[in-house]
Structure 1
Amino acid sequence: MALPRWFPLARNEARILLTSKGPWALAVLLILWAYRPSYIAWDGLGPDMTVGFVQTTATIVLPLGALLLSYQSIVGERRSGSLKFVLGLPLTRTDVLLGKVLGRSVGIAVPVTVSASALGLIGLVRFGLFSPLRFLGVLLVTHLYVLVLVSVATAVSAVTTSTVRATGVVFGVFFLLLTVFWKVIASNVYSTVSGRAANPYDAPADGLLFALLRVSPDRSYRLLTNWVLGVGNSGAGFEAVITKLQTPTSINVFAVESAFGSAPIPVYLHEATGVVVLVVWLVVPLGIARYLFERGDLV
């Protein structure tokens, strides 16, 4: 069976990343960032607290690193002139997009797997045997999240001729608004639309609020990994969810169980909808970029 036309480009993209220092420095940072044992996490998960460390890798550091390693994937070559050479190969522009996204995703996923494995080994030695199925499940969702991040950054890179604009959109809009501040933004949007305060200490049982919160790929990622961990239906970090749902402590967290109580929960708030959100973030930006990249003269 013949290999896809984009495969050599993807292989080259992955090799470039895997032979550079950036992804491996990211792997070290992920280990240092994510290893956070605590009594609350141990009480809620036991040895599976180690699996929770893998979720923590994807908080701030992983999205920032993945975006940094991807946002110049096409615009950088456009500015240097090497994109003309790539487009001169027997590749369509769709092949170029796929090769860039898949190759860079692999180049980031490998160091992420190494860091997760190191966390798993440390946790195994210190806290005992954890669930391998949960570990694999969280790691697979993390790889999907990496693919989404690379896809968004590459899509932006494909439709702009300026690294300054690419930086502004990727980090100013996607990272800051949709990752760092989305909880605040979604709460304010809900309050404006509904006329009700979105108080996380006593959240209203309103599907609109929780649907808005999981529009963010960051929160949908944690929603899915919390589902795998079995801690609750929330887009917050696993330790915060455990604190919210399993202790008497009042904490600034939106959780479906605490908001709805015994009331029926809308089907669209099931944790599995996190997969839909991530797939939409994977496909839609790349689809728009493909349309503009194929029809534009952005060389």
Structure 2
Amino acid sequence: MSLSAVVKKDFRDSIRSHSLVSVTALFALFAAGLAAMQFVPTMYRDSGVETSTLALLNSMRQPTVFFVPLVGLALSYRSILGERESGSIKLLLGLPNARRDVVLGKFLGRTAVVAVSILASYAVAGTVALLTYDSFDFVVFALYTLLTLFYGAVYIGIGIGFSAVSKSREWALAGAAALYALFLVGWDVLLLLLQFAVVGPASELPESGLPDWMDFVGLLNPSSAFMKATRAVIPEYRELTVFPEASALYLQDWFGFVILAFWGGVPLYLGYRRFDGMDLQT
């Protein structure tokens, strides 16, 4: 079985997931609802960018924050562990396939599945916008969609890497839930605690703002890195996000791509190394 065959098999197995259909439906409904309302947060309504463009970006931005990590981790947290638990991993490796092909095939196959979820959801939101908005910026829509596909692949890499080192379904599920909570909520809480420990209460924040290294810690969150990367490609997106001005190289918008590549690649590689050295006979 070739790498392409592994990808096709994994795609077919994953696309049938009822939970994937449910989450994708919620994703699409949420995005379409925001698009239909043409909702733009009050603080951003005085922007010089067209309201239609801001509403389109916002209808895609908010669902992305919640659903892309959820879909990515849900699809991948048992990708390799499930094969080990069922014993099918031995058959998969006996066809024959190198363990590298299995990991890469899982990554490509599940990235294709998360792409289907994202494209289906954005197609609904985009159709609503196209039919009801005064104007529709297709370039912005297409660029944001491509960036979101990349963002989804990052979480697939994280999830597969975690799956490769997990010892049981319970550990994998708990780990995926913990990662989701960390990136969506916990990171901000940790930043507030760090700020309080280093700088003190918000009332004591110096006029110059937080030190650059603390801003960088915030940027290490994949969600923040995605927003930074998007700002680098879609200037209009800056009207919906707030980041402190900084001259440090590692705080520039384009550096978000570096951080996303790290999150998508390093856990995947470490998971592969762990899986490659694993004794599957026990």
What is the TM-score normalised by the length of structure 1?
A: 0.81
Percentage of identical aligned residues: 26
C-alpha separation in 2, matches of 1:181 and 1:121: 34
Question: Could you say which residue in structure 2 is the equivalent of 1:195?
Answer: 199
CA contact (8 A) 2:231 2:237 kept: yes
- Work out the CA distance in 2 between the residues paired with 1:298 and 1:204: 52
Distance 1:117 1:43, change over 3 A: farther
Residue of structure 2 in register with 1:31 after alignment: 28
Residue 213 (structure 2) pairs with residue 208 (structure 1): yes
Instruction: Output the CA distance in 2 between the equivalents of 1:42 and 1:271.
Output: 23
Q: 1:110 to 1:13 in 2, by over 3 A?
A: same
Taking structure 2 as the reference length, the TM-score comes to 0.86
Corresponding residue number in structure 1 for 2:190:
185
Q: Could you report, residue by residue, the CA deviation over 1:196-246 in whole angstroms, capped at 9, with x for unpaired residues?
A: 44679x88152112111111112211222344443566xxxx74x3xxxxx
Please name the residue that 1:286 is paired with.
268
For 1:91-144, what per-residue CA distance to the aligned partner results, in whole angstroms no more than 9, with x for missing partners? 111110000111011011112112112111101111133222221221111111
What is the correspondence of 1:187-266 to structure 2 with a 5 Å cutoff? 187-192=192-197, 194-197=198-201, 204-231=209-236, 239=240, 241=241, 255-257=243-245, 265-266=247-248
Q: Which amino acid aligns with 2:216?
A: A
| Distance change >3 Å, CA 43–CA 229, structure 1 → 2 | farther
Q: Which residue of structure 2 aligns with residue 14 of structure 1?
A: 11
Q: Which amino acid aligns with 1:286?
A: L
Check conservation: 1:159, 1:298, Cα contact below 8 A.
Answer: no
Structure 1: distance between partners of 2:21 and 2:253:
32
Tell me by how many angstroms 1:65 deviates: 2.4
Indicate if the aligned counterparts of 2:7 and 2:106 stay in contact, CA closer than 8 A. Answer: yes
- Structure 2, unmatched stretches of 5+, are none
Q: Which has the higher helix share?
A: 2
1:81–1:203 Cα change, 3 Å: farther
Structure 2 letter corresponding to 1:291: R
Gaps of 5+ in 1: 242-253, 258-263
- Across the two proteins, how many residue pairs are aligned to each other? 271
Partners in 2 of 1:205 and 1:231 — Cα distance? 25
* Root-mean-square deviation over aligned CA pairs: 2.5
Q: Which residue of 1 aligns with 2:130?
A: 124
Residue aligning to 1:249: none
1:111 aligned counterpart, secondary structure: helix
